[in-house]
Structure 1
Amino acid sequence: MTSVESGSTAEALQSGLFSHLLELRSRLLKATAFVLLVLLGLVPFANRLYALLAAPLVSRLPTGAHLIATEVTSPFLTPLKLALFTALFVSMPMILYQLWAFVRPGLYASEKRLARPLLAASLVLFYLGCAFAFFLVLPAAFRFLAAVTPQGVEMMTDITHYLDFVMLVFFAFGLCFEVPVAVVILAAVGVVDLAGLHGSRRYVIVGAFAIAAVITPPDITSMIMLAVPMYLLYELGVLTVRWLIVPRVPAAEH
């Protein structure tokens, strides 16, 4: 290769890299602008959003107990922080779309066919995990915590600590509900096969209960309410692998 050809190749690589960086910058700006627009629309309703989020705990507090703010700026900043989390939650389809639009040109046709349903499934499963935590797990956990509060101790939770706790539970449950997507991806890249997935059931059950014991509130009900869906979602992932990932059959020898 001559020096002229080498120089033109380097310039082409630099030009391609620069165009990709510009495309990434454009996608990030679009996603960020969408999040900010949603946030601006939610700010006037920040206090209402917090009241809705606090309902599972407030409804189970003893008579006369209530949430408290231990810092001067908490009554303002904590609902605003929740509005930001809600904006990210609502904007997730747009964020994933911008990510998909950036990586789509570099994928093969077979990868595109698999990636599209996986992205949609991951988004739906994350939302389902958060909804499951809010409507079922948190009420059960707060009922347990209110019942085991020692006599003479007044249960009053700081609003910032409550928000951090609930967001952590949402993220943990949303992430754990991604089990089917993780199973399909591992099978698609060849890390595991269908026989290996069937043989790993006992380890999955133990792992599900171990993970649930670590990330759920300290009561047996919450642990079971996460471990059992995780295992069922694993079985859903196995069924999806059986349906989507066609096993490679070696060609017959002549």
Structure 2
Amino acid sequence: MNKMLENPDDEVNQSEAPLLEHLIELRTRLIYSFAAIAVLFVVCFFLAGEIYAVLLGPFVQAVGGSVEDVSLIYTAPQEAFFTELKVALFGAIFLAFPVLASQVYMFVAPGLYKRERSAFIPYLIATPVLFLIGGALVYFGVMPLAMRFFLSFEQSGAGQATIQNMTRVSEYLSLTMTLLLAFGLCFQLPVILTLLARAEIITADNLKSWRKYAVVAILTVAAFLTPPEPMTQIGLAVPVFLLYELSIFAVRFVERSRANREAASENDA
């Protein structure tokens, strides 16, 4: 009888210890992550001008000249300063991504089997690679096309009012960062769908049957995340739909690998 009365307290004590350990581990990983971002933020703040010059690359391509041909303005005394803060934060998060990913892995790794840990590593590699591919598509393709489109509305000449583009530094940065983040995150679609397939939440047949809904969803997300002009929207929607089709093959590969493992374990049994 005494043992029966003691069991509830023992179970509570046993459950509290692992929970506290997980919370302490989570706090440690968050401290390391924020520390990495803070250190890189200071470094990037002193290099904000150089980072912004790199982000001006699509603008330079659009005007077809050099960086001296690009003119931007700021209309508030504090605008340039806060823009540099945003540039520094953007650069810090971008450069700290390997640290953030490693901290996530070190937090979840103790709860995984050895086989699951080895299966998790390719996703850590694929995530930044796909993000960089999406960012490169924006930097070298979509953004220059969008800037040429926007600059095409300039006009000057006899019998016409002069219309000249005067881009604010904060607005250009917001547009560039929005597109970079939008493309980088949307390019994570294969990683997300493959993880869901490993968790046996979705199948390749599900993705095939959802294709028409996926087209509508992708077009909606592209319209929401990009400026209201067709070139950038199509530039995001088409690659993401191709990634959706690629995800079907990736999910099919996951299903075959799972079936082979199950067949091998049955044979061993």
Instruction: Assess same fold via TM > 0.5.
Output: yes
Deviations 1:47-75 (A, max 9, x none): 11112212322554599872111121222
**Structure 1's 203 and 18: CA in aligned 2 closer, same or farther, altered over 3 A?**
closer
Range that drifts further, 101-110 or 20-29: 101-110
Could you tell me which residue of structure 1 aligns to residue 210 of structure 2? 200
1:54-69 pair list within 5 angstroms: 54-58=56-60, 60=62, 66-69=71-74
Question: Are the counterparts in 2 of residues 61 and 155 from structure 1 also a CA contact under 8 Å?
Answer: no
Could you tell me which residue of structure 1 aligns to residue 197 of structure 2? 187
Question: Are the counterparts in 1 of residues 153 and 163 from structure 2 also a CA contact under 8 Å?
Answer: no
CA RMSD of aligned residues (A): 2.7
**Cα distance in 2 for residues equivalent to 1:169 and 1:65:** 20
Alignment gaps of 5+ in structure 2: 156-160, 264-269
TM-score by length of 1: 0.86
Q: What SS does structure 1 have at the residue aligned with 2:72?
A: coil
Q: How far apart are residue 210 of structure 1 and its match?
A: 3.4
Q: Equivalent of 2:254, from 244, 250, 253?
A: 244
Runs of 4+ in 1 over 6 A off after TM superposition: 62-65
Q: How far apart are residue 109 of structure 1 and its match?
A: 4.2
Q: What SS does structure 1 have at the residue aligned with 2:92?
A: helix
Question: Are the counterparts in 1 of residues 45 and 85 from structure 2 also a CA contact under 8 Å?
Answer: yes
**Structure 1's 192 and 185: CA in aligned 2 closer, same or farther, altered over 3 A?**
same
Q: Equivalent of 2:88, from 83, 91, 116?
A: 83
Q: How far apart are residue 88 of structure 1 and its match?
A: 0.6
**Cα distance in 2 for residues equivalent to 1:178 and 1:65:** 33
Deviations 1:135-172 (A, max 9, x none): 21111101001113465332112111221221111111
Deviations 1:184-229 (A, max 9, x none): 1232233322222233334333433333233223333322222221
Name the amino acid aligned to 1:102: F
Name the amino acid aligned to 2:34: T
TM-score by length of 2: 0.82
Name the amino acid aligned to 1:133: V
Name the amino acid aligned to 1:196: N
Question: Are the counterparts in 1 of residues 178 and 226 from structure 2 also a CA contact under 8 Å?
Answer: no
**Structure 1's 21 and 206: CA in aligned 2 closer, same or farther, altered over 3 A?**
closer
Could you tell me which residue of structure 2 aligns to residue 116 of structure 1? 121
**Cα distance in 2 for residues equivalent to 1:208 and 1:185:** 19
**Cα distance in 1 for residues equivalent to 2:74 and 2:131:** 30
**Cα distance in 1 for residues equivalent to 2:72 and 2:61:** 11
Q: Equivalent of 1:138, from 140, 143, 150?
A: 143
Name the amino acid aligned to 1:230: V
**Cα distance in 1 for residues equivalent to 2:54 and 2:96:** 19
**Cα distance in 2 for residues equivalent to 1:110 and 1:62:** 52
Q: How far apart are residue 18 of structure 1 and its match?
A: 1.7
Could you tell me which residue of structure 1 aligns to residue 179 of structure 2? 169
Range that drifts further, 212-221 or 22-31: 212-221
1:42 paired to 2:44 = yes
User: Could you tell me the percent identity over the aligned residues?
Assistant: 35
Could you tell me which residue of structure 1 aligns to residue 153 of structure 2? 148
The number of residues matched between the two structures is: 252
Could you tell me which residue of structure 1 aligns to residue 20 of structure 2? 18
